Amino acid sequence: MQGFEFNTVGRLVNGSGSSLELAGECRKLGIARPLLVTDPGLVAIGLVQPVLAALQEQDLPALVFDQVREDPPEAVVLAATELGRSREIDGIIALGGGSSMDVAKVVAVLLGGDQQLSEIYGVGMVSGKRLPLVLVPTTAGTGSEATPVAVITTGETTKAGVSSPVLLPDVAVLDAELTLGLPPAVTAMTGVDAMVHAIEAYTSRHQKNVISDHLARQALDLLARNIRTAVHDGQSREARENMLLGACLAGQAFANAPVAAVHALAYPLGGHYHIPHGLSNSLVLPAVLEFNAPEACDLYAELVELVTGEVVPGSPEAKTFALIDALRTLIEDVALPATLQQAGVSEDDLEMLAEDAMLQQRLLVNNPRDVAYDDALAIYRAAYWGAE
């Protein structure tokens, strides 16, 4: 067996209502003056208030930064850092989706050490410590609560990642109650994002190992069995719990066996069209899997029954095509657009998108099959027209 490393979140608390017990988690970490990072939409729907009230009741009032935006720009990170610094806070709580969690991770580093934001982009660039960090996801998607990564928007069409084990939080708190009101479209997009994390981790060319494989399989099983119910019957506690856990397990898998061409080809769609991260992944997923099939069909064949829920006979190639078919059906069932055309992408832009995708070498090196410019363009064309 090849040697491997496995890193994950320090402590995981999973249970309905657990977001009302954050004070205890903070105290264990020595936090006395927390900054809670969230977004205005969550404040507006009343998700944040009970968590703040519980902290207050337990004598741990939090300072609030509620200005996180989707695909958070640097200005948001800097504003939150400034607020935290001015009040000498000593720990960070994120309550929100990937956007809030990623901002919180970076703010914890900027306030805990003496590096500037521009110095920490890339892999392994964080040199200092960070403030204690508690992450509470409200989407079942990015798995950011268990990954060493934060993604920040750096320009009009560009994002940059900070990747360092320092970003793994001290505690992740999974409280499915928080996700009951997640709208169907967000549930669908973020849920498919999590499924892609599991699939890409399972077929990652480097660093894939027995633990990431096990997590990816368990995640895909939970996500595929529950995503339809979570989308169409959002109040189902059981479906929400399974989705939140599945997304977190998928996050743990890809934190160690990194994602590849689906994400590499998805990022330019987010950059140029502001298509949400999960939908961007969903739009290119079937075409990337078809492209990868010649190299990865033995592994895809091992996943098919987790997605179809039934025995699929035949060769690895036949099973791979059954997997791709099942994913297409699932994308349709959760009411996401199936093609780039339907998502408003212009055919004239496909070359530009392919050029941009080639910049994502950090991700492409993990793909089971090499992706050159012509391949990326062919995948975008296939994703533009969809299945015949």
Residues that bind ligand NAD in the complex, under the rule CB under 6 A: 39, 41-42, 45, 47, 70-71, 96-100, 102, 138-139, 141-142, 144, 147, 149-151, 178-179, 181-182, 186, 190, 277-278
Q: Which is nearer to ligand NAD, 245 or 293 (CB)?
A: 245
Q: Which is nearer to Fe ion, 84 or 169 (CB)?
A: 169
Residue 182 near which of ligand NAD, Fe ion, none (CB within 5-8 Å, type-dependent):
ligand NAD
Q: Closest separation between CB of residue 302 and ligand NAD, Å?
A: 24
Nearest partner of 103 among 90, 94, 112, 111, judged by Cα: 94
Name the residue whose CB lies closest to Fe ion. 193
348 CB-contact burial (10 Å; exposed 0-12 / middle 13-18 / buried 19+): exposed
Q: Which is nearer to ligand NAD, 182 or 382 (CB)?
A: 182
Q: Which is nearer to ligand NAD, 169 or 286 (CB)?
A: 169
Q: Could you tell me whether strands 159-163 and 149-153 are parallel, antiparallel, or unpaired per DSSP bridges?
A: antiparallel
Q: Closest separation between CB of residue 95 and Fe ion, Å?
A: 20
Q: Could you tell me whether strands 63-65 and 149-153 are parallel, antiparallel, or unpaired per DSSP bridges?
A: unpaired
Per-residue tokens: 308: 């179809």
Can you give the binding site for Fe ion, defined by CB under 5 A?
193
Residue 8 near which of Fe ion, ligand NAD, none (CB within 5-8 Å, type-dependent):
none
Q: Which is nearer to Fe ion, 170 or 193 (CB)?
A: 193
Q: Closest separation between CB of residue 147 and ligand NAD, Å?
A: 4
Residue 169 near which of ligand NAD, Fe ion, none (CB within 5-8 Å, type-dependent):
none
Q: Closest separation between CB of residue 281 and Fe ion, Å?
A: 6
b/e code 293-326 from CB counts within 10 Å (16+ = b): beebbebbbbbbbbbbeeebeeebeebbbbbbbb
Q: Closest separation between CB of residue 263 and Fe ion, Å?
A: 6
Residue 372 near which of ligand NAD, Fe ion, none (CB within 5-8 Å, type-dependent):
none
What's the rounded Cα separation, in Å, for the pair 295 and 197? 19
What's the rounded Cα separation, in Å, for the pair 55 and 331? 39
Q: Which is nearer to ligand NAD, 151 or 198 (CB)?
A: 151
Q: Which is nearer to ligand NAD, 356 or 375 (CB)?
A: 356
Q: Closest separation between CB of residue 141 and ligand NAD, Å?
A: 4
